[in-house]
Amino acid sequence: MNKALKQRLTIAFPIVALLIYIIFYQPTYFFVVISLIVLRTLWEFFNLYKNTQKSFSKSAILYSILFMITVWKSPQLFELMLIIGVILFLSLQIFDKSNTDGMKKISLTVCGFIYITVFSSYVFKIYIYKSDLPMWGPTMVFWTFFICKFSDATAYFGGVNFGKHKMIPRLSPNKSWEGFFFGLLGGVAPALLIQSLDGFNLSTAFQFCLLVTLAAVGGDFIESMFKRELKVKDAANDIPAFGGTFDMIDSVITSLPIAYLFIHFKVI
């Protein structure tokens, strides 16, 4: 085991233990912790662009707090709060005295809000899904997280030890097809356990794991695209071996809406 992988595991284990505890036993703490992670990630996203492109970042962060509280308390208002948010950010340019680069500021603000806050907030919709079945929603949140991160870990292992053929080197020079297939195997393996959950069988569990895994890979490349464009290695440098929260949850961000949509249209 190389040093980087060992360092990642050392940091990951206590985080995983904490997440498991709050997911299943402390719903309020779960909301608070996830919200703080999302807000930190949104800040990192805007911070990446602070030297090259202005945005209405403070407004987006403040509205994101309101958005997540509303979704947690009243998930049926998700779409309404999304529409209000986009209209709000479009309207802010009217009151901006500089009256310059309006489209760029609005675009970056809306992108950050939807990509980070809205996508991540699907975790709350999954958490309360099938509220008539105790622990069904929290269990699906756990498995969504697990699929993403176990796929990440197996892809990293496969890439480090067997990687020879690069996938998209212009975005992520270290990612290989060998790592991708290791990650794919790691991502679909939990289907053997998920099939026993209410609403699943082996086929739907396999489909769920496959789609979540592919969405996770896509999320990883999306963040890489932003970082390569800005010529930075990590979104932040606060977490050893990872970088920032954006670097840790990039694969989860894009997986959550896919997981929710699959559950909503396929499982029920």
Render pLDDT for 33-61 as a digit per residue (tens, 0 to 9).
999 999 999 999 999 999 888 899 999 99
Q: Are 28 and 138 in contact (CB under 8 A)?
A: no
Count of structural domains, the chain: 1
Confidence of residue 14 (pLDDT cuts 50, 70, 90): confident
Tell me what the mean pLDDT of segment 251-267 comes to: 94
What pLDDT was estimated at residue 92?
Answer: 92
Q: Which stretches within the chain are classed as H helix?
A: 3-25, 27-48, 57-73, 78-92, 102-112, 119-127, 136-162, 177-188, 191-194, 202-230, 245-262
Give me the chain's average pLDDT, please: 91
Answer whether residue 165 shows pLDDT above 70. Answer: yes
What residues make up the domain containing 17?
A: 3-267
Q: How far apart are CA 217 and CA 41, in angstroms?
A: 18
Q: Are 72 and 126 in contact (CB under 8 A)?
A: no
> What DSSP assignment string belongs to 136-196?
HHHHHHHHHHHHHHHHHHHHHHHHHHH--SBS-TTT-TT-BHHHHHHHHHHHHTTHHHHTT
DSSP summary character for residue 2: -
What pLDDT was estimated at residue 102?
Answer: 87
What pLDDT was estimated at residue 168?
Answer: 83
What pLDDT was estimated at residue 2?
Answer: 61
What pLDDT was estimated at residue 176?
Answer: 85
Confidence of residue 157 (pLDDT cuts 50, 70, 90): confident
Q: How far apart are CA 226 and CA 261, in angstroms?
A: 26
72-89 b/e (C-beta count within 10 Å ≥ 16 → b): beebeebeebbeebbebb
Angle formed by the axes of helices 245-262 and 119-127, to 10°?
50
Tell me what the mean pLDDT of segment 128-148 comes to: 91
Q: Are 159 and 174 in contact (CB under 8 A)?
A: yes
What pLDDT was estimated at residue 256?
Answer: 98
What pLDDT was estimated at residue 263?
Answer: 95
Tell me what the mean pLDDT of segment 250-261 comes to: 96
Answer whether residue 213 shows pLDDT above 90. Answer: yes
Answer whether residue 247 shows pLDDT above 80. Answer: yes
Answer whether residue 209 shows pLDDT above 90. Answer: yes
Confidence of residue 183 (pLDDT cuts 50, 70, 90): very high
Confidence of residue 4 (pLDDT cuts 50, 70, 90): low
pTM, two decimals, is 0.93
How far is CA 166 from each of CA 190, 225, 250, rounded to the nearest angstrom?
Answer: 27, 15, 20
pLDDT per residue as tens digits for the range 95-112: 887 777 889 999 999 999
